[in-house]
Amino acid sequence: MDDAGGPYPGVEYIYVGHFFGNLIDTFRISMGDYSSLTTAIYSISWDNYLYWMNWLAIVLFGCIVFLNFVIAEACHSYEMVDNYLEEYICKSKAAMIAEAEGMTPNRLKSMSSYPKYIIIREVDD
């Protein structure tokens, strides 16, 4: 049993103990490394229950962390769009007005309706 390269599952955790070996094993399984599932077969019933409870807790914790990250990114994207929404609307309106003025023939343009210049205010970031 003191040989670190023995044939039984979980032998790589011989120096950290059975409990921490199970924690590391369940973390590996929750990350997608299913080669260590055979550890649960060779453990006694109480350790087997503990093993699968640890696995379930780690998977649930990982899902909560991942979903929290996804929600935070979605909120950040919405906040960025919400901050600049009025500017995007005004810019698209100005583009449509410029397009409409460009399509109007020169003989229909008057100085009161179509001045020679427009004052635009922009803020430098």
CA 120 – CA 101 distance, rounded (Å):
17
CA 109 – CA 40 distance, rounded (Å):
84
- This prediction has a pTM of 0.47
For residue range 17-69, list pLDDT tens digits in order.
878 887 887 778 777 777 766 666 766 778 778 878 877 888 788 889 999 99
CA 4 – CA 13 distance, rounded (Å):
8
Give the residue carrying structure tokens 């427009």. Answer: 118
